[in-house]
Amino acid sequence: MKAVYINGIGSVSIQDQDIFDFNFELISDLSDVNYAKHPSYKEMIPAAMIRRMAQGVKMGIYASQNALNEAEIEIPDAIITGTGMGCLQDSEKFLRAIIDNEEEFLTPTSFIQSTHNTVGSQIALRLGCKGYNFTYVNGANSFENALNDAKLQIENDEANSILVGGIDEISDYTLKLLKKIDVIKNENSSIDFKNPTSIGVPFGEGANFLAISSEKKSNSYAEICDVFVQNKIEISDLKQTVSTFLEANKIDLSQIDVLVVGRNADSNFNEYYTEMETLFEDKTQIYYKHLSAEFDTASAFGVLLAATILKKQEIPNELLWNNKSMSQANYVLCYNQYRGKDHSLVLLRNC
């Protein structure tokens, strides 16, 4: 089977655009809701189209194009996206119009643009890409399933270059519902990720894309070794699950140099991360959701950071969870779960 390499990345997040240069000023104090810092889209999208596009579509187009540019890919063989909730803003517009107009005289625009595959299709239309185009909607495993699909296609010689990413956006009414059921923190004070004392997460949005290929380049970020997803895992089974995953890739726990965990400041469900950190207590550990906030495809942001660490062979102090230093990184393991479900492992190797 062919190897799979990350040759380009692109992101729109709540941070500045140069965050992956590891030379940045962080938004260190997250609030309960954190909106993306939108770049200028007019260089990529005609002004008339920008006005009609949802935030998720604009973020996706910008992040995906940056990933393609860096990988020097004009048109990929496939576009695969993951999203937890899709284009929520247009979904809410359409539902509101149904109520306001008493189910009469409805325009289809918001409905057409509200589907979960809107971002992937808009990227394809813009690029003129007529290849495989698929969107995964699997909660917090949405991005990982998209990544696994892309990896398998390249390994089995079904495609040479693929654009893969995760996109989620914030919408007002859904925010209110998530706050009512305590998914989002109901506080505006500074959020402590190291010692959280309240339930719920700081919520965010973003688009994070990888341009992957079977071709290794001089500026490649990392090799994608394997991707694993499982909906439910008992804490007592976590160590065996990780060991089995690594054994399948012919490595053991001692060979992991950096552990990337998706801690999100929720005082519930931390025991999974604690168990993982115990398994790799003598390794460098980093966290990232104090930079991205939490949303269904936030783990894509973590994978981008992991790939950048392998390429640059450095870790900014702002990312460190423990005090273990890293001399060289050959293997990075990313672990994420959300509210005790949707567990994922992504193994990257230095190339």
Low-confidence ranges of the chain (pLDDT < 50): none
Compute the distance between CA of residue 240 and CA of residue 100 in angstroms, rounded to an integer: 54
Compute the distance between CA of residue 67 and CA of residue 46 in angstroms, rounded to an integer: 20
Structural Rg of the chain based on CA atoms:
20
Q: What is the pLDDT of residues 292-309, one digit of tens each?
A: 999 999 999 999 999 999
Question: Hey, what amino acid is at 241?
Answer: T
Helix segments in the chain, DSSP class H: 47-50, 55-71, 88-100, 109-112, 118-127, 142-155, 172-180, 235-248, 271-279, 289-292, 299-312
Q: Phi, psi (5° rounding) for residue 69?
A: -60, -45
Domains of the chain in start order, with CATH, are 5-213 (3.40.47.10), 222-349 (3.40.47.10)
Q: Which helix (H) or strand (E) holds 84?
A: none
Q: Would strands 258-261 and 222-230 be described as parallel, antiparallel, or unpaired?
A: unpaired
3-state class (DSSP) for residue 261: strand
Task: Please tell me whether the overall predicted TM-score, pTM, comes out greater than 0.85 for this model.
Answer: yes
pLDDT of residue 106: 76
pLDDT of residue 314: 92
pLDDT of residue 50: 83
pLDDT of residue 275: 94
Residue partners of 160: CB distance under 8 A and separation at least 6: 77, 154, 213, 214, 215
Q: Give the N- to C-terminal CA distance of the chain in Å, as an integer.
A: 17
Tokens of 139: 């909660």
Compute the distance between CA of residue 229 and CA of residue 341 in angstroms, rounded to an integer: 10
Tokens of 8: 């380009």
Q: Which residue, chain included where needed, has tokens 């699997």?
A: 138
Decide: 334 and 346 in contact? Cβ < 8 Å: yes
